[in-house]
């Protein structure tokens, strides 16, 4: 069986280092591994509209921002197909058919949907389209016959729901759809990178994100403003590493080689943590090191982003070509789905062929 990847992001803002470490970095590695037959990366603008219906400009403006973030991180349009979700009507049709296979109470139990409903204060006024987005996500995944879906941990419930839809579809209409598997980042610190204020998640509205497009000074200032251990008042005090955002970031980003590269007195992060715990290591020294690590990672990404940003017609053209290629793939799956559902009415064996009239 061919190995097919599908993944994507809602274009509601520029991508930040939480996206990078939770998913983008791994996508680039998967892409460059040469182990996959087809890779699709989707700008989920239609899904973005499910809770931004009144703000279509914002969604449109962020399509190019996110595409630039992808290219800057090393997504290579020669190897991965980048496309725009809304331009594939096949996805809407698949969603419509899958809706018959999912109960309202099942969607209500989806933990990600539940959390988002609470967070967005929808209360009794949940848009039906938003409520149904896990179903549309199943359409996205199955349209590409994807068996591997590399995403952040928050998408796990979406994948579970997709697997249920696939099994239900195949049992009702015969084997048609491919069952996907989630692929999470392997470093546990990467699964849920907190915001720079130590809050659970990076969020644009709270302003606790480091963006891939941030300039050097902004990265520096955000690192030096970071939340650490509130009990670690003097450098000589013993400090806590757990729940200390600077160390959580080092868990996610620092590699052993960085310690030598930036002339650290420690051989690795464990040694640095031990010193901090014991007392005698100040926050500023730890932040300096984290800043060096972050600047080295983000410098080349920022430079590549600026290069692509100077040639937007090239970027738009590659999105157009990617979208055409993706549309052909989705159309192929849709015709299998229609056939399985006895909706191919005008085929030679369609309407009238079994009635004997």
Residue 195 is classified by DSSP as P
Closer to ligand TRP by CB, 10 or 232: give it: 10
Q: Which stretch binds ligand TRP (CB under 6 A): 7-15, 51-59, 228-236, 240-248?
A: 7-15
From 177, 151, 289, select the one nearest 224 (Cα to Cα): 289
CA distances from 250 to 92, 189, 212, 277, 291 (A): 42, 9, 17, 15, 10
- Sequence-distant contacts of 308-315: CB under 8 A, at least 24 apart: 308/68, 308/71, 308/72, 309/68, 312/64, 315/64, 315/67, 315/68, 315/71
Q: In what order do the strands lie in the sheet with 81-84?
A: 81-84, 38-43, 4-9, 148-150, 181-183
**Which positions from 205 through 244 interact with ligand TRP, judged by CB under 6 A?**
none
* Binding-site member from 5, 9, 147, 214 for ligand TRP (CB under 6 A): 9
The verdict on 44 binding ligand TRP (CB under 6 A) reads yes
* Binding-site member from 4, 5, 6, 59 for ligand TRP (CB under 6 A): 6
In the complex, the smallest distance separating the C-beta of residue 157 from ligand TRP, rounded to whole angstroms, is 10
Closer to ligand TRP by CB, 88 or 141: give it: 141
Backbone angles phi, psi at 172, to 5 degrees: -80, -45
Q: Which stretch binds ligand TRP (CB under 6 A): 3-11, 99-107, 116-124, 297-305?
A: 3-11
In the complex, the smallest distance separating the C-beta of residue 202 from ligand TRP, rounded to whole angstroms, is 13
CA distances from 113 to 51, 105, 164 (A): 12, 12, 16
In the complex, the smallest distance separating the C-beta of residue 85 from ligand TRP, rounded to whole angstroms, is 7
In the complex, the smallest distance separating the C-beta of residue 357 from ligand TRP, rounded to whole angstroms, is 44
Closer to ligand TRP by CB, 64 or 235: give it: 64
User: Rounded CA gap, 270 and 280, in Å?
Assistant: 15
In the complex, the smallest distance separating the C-beta of residue 235 from ligand TRP, rounded to whole angstroms, is 40
Closer to ligand TRP by CB, 72 or 151: give it: 151
**Which positions from 119 through 178 interact with ligand TRP, judged by CB under 6 A?**
137, 140-141, 149, 151, 155
Closer to ligand TRP by CB, 44 or 330: give it: 44
> If binding means CB under 6 A, how many residues of this protein chain bind ligand TRP?
13
* Binding-site member from 4, 5, 10, 28 for ligand TRP (CB under 6 A): 10
In the complex, the smallest distance separating the C-beta of residue 8 from ligand TRP, rounded to whole angstroms, is 4
Closer to ligand TRP by CB, 140 or 145: give it: 140
**Number of Cα atoms under 13 Å in the Cβ half of residue 14:** 17
From 174, 214, 202, select the one nearest 21 (Cα to Cα): 202
Closer to ligand TRP by CB, 47 or 161: give it: 47
User: Rounded CA gap, 179 and 216, in Å?
Assistant: 43
The 3-state DSSP composition of the chain as helix, strand, coil percent (nearest 5) reads 55, 5, 40
The verdict on 65 binding ligand TRP (CB under 6 A) reads no
Secondary structure class of 181 (helix, strand, coil): strand
User: Rounded CA gap, 302 and 315, in Å?
Assistant: 16
In the complex, the smallest distance separating the C-beta of residue 97 from ligand TRP, rounded to whole angstroms, is 17
In the complex, the smallest distance separating the C-beta of residue 1 from ligand TRP, rounded to whole angstroms, is 19
Q: β-strand 148-150 against 181-183: which pairing, if any?
A: parallel
Q: Which stretch binds ligand TRP (CB under 6 A): 1-9, 28-36, 67-75, 259-267?
A: 1-9
Q: In the bound complex, which residue of the shown chain has the CB atom lying closest to ligand TRP?
A: 44
Q: Is residue 328 packed enough to be buried (19+ CB in 10 Å), middle (13-18) or exposed (0-12)?
A: exposed
In the complex, the smallest distance separating the C-beta of residue 296 from ligand TRP, rounded to whole angstroms, is 27
Secondary structure class of 4 (helix, strand, coil): strand
Contacts with ligand TRP, residue ranges (CB under 6 A): 6-10, 44, 47, 137, 140-141, 149, 151, 155
């Amino acid at each position: 069986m061919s190995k097919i990847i599908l993944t994507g992001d809602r274009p509601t803002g520029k991508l930040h280092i939480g996206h990078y470490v939770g998913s983008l970095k791994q996508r680039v590695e998967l892409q460059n591994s040469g182990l996959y037959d087809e890779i699709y990366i989707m700008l989920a603008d239609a899904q973005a509209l499910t809770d931004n219906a009144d703000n279509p400009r914002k969604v449109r403006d962020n399509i190019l921002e996110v595409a630039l973030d992808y290219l800057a991180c090393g997504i290579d349009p020669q190897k991965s197909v980048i496309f725009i979700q809304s331009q594939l009507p096949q996805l809407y049709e698949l969603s419509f058919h899958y809706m018959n296979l999912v109960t309202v109470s099942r969607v209500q139990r989806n933990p990600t949907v539940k959390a988002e409903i609470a967070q967005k204060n929808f209360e009794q006024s949940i848009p039906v389209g938003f409520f149904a987005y896990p179903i549309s996500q199943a359409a996205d995944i199955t349209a590409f016959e994807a068996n591997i879906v590399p995403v952040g941990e928050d998408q796990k419930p979406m994948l579970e729901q997709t697997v249920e839809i696939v099994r239900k579809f195949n049992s009702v209409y015969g084997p048609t759809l491919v069952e996907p598997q989630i692929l999470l980042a392997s470093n546990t610190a990467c699964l849920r990178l907190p915001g720079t204020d130590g809050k659970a998640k990076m969020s644009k509205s709270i302003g606790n994100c480091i963006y891939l497009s941030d300039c050097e000074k902004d990265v520096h200032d955000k690192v030096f403003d970071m939340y650490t251990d509130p009990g670690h008042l003097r450098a000589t005090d013993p400090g806590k590493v757990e729940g200390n955002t600077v160390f959580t970031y080092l868990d996610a980003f620092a590699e052993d080689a960085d310690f030598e590269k930036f002339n650290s007195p420690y051989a690795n992060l464990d040694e640095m943590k031990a010193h901090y715990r014991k007392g005698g290591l100040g926050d500023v020294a730890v932040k300096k090191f984290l800043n060096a690590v972050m600047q080295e990672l983000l410098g080349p990404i920022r430079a590549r982003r600026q290069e692509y940003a100077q040639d937007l017609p090239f970027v738009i053209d590659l999105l157009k070509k990617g979208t055409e290629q993706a549309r052909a793939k989705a159309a192929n799956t849709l015709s299998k789905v229609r056939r399985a559902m006895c909706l191919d009415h005008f085929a030679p064996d369609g309407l009238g062929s079994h009635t004997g009239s």
